[in-house]
Amino acid sequence: MANYPLNKIVFDKDAYEKTIDTSFSQVQPPAPPIEDTMSVEEFFSLYNTIFYDIPVEGDINSHAYIVKTSGEYVGGTTINDDVQLLLDEITGLRQNLLDANQTILSLQTTIPISSSMTTV
The model carries a pTM of: 0.38
Residue 66 main-chain phi, psi, to 5 deg: -65, -45
Digit-coded pLDDT (tens) for 27-55? 777 788 888 888 999 999 999 999 999 99
Residue 33 main-chain phi, psi, to 5 deg: -65, 145
- Please give the pLDDT value at position 117: 55
- Please, what is the Cα angle at 26 between 22 and 29, to 5 degrees? 115
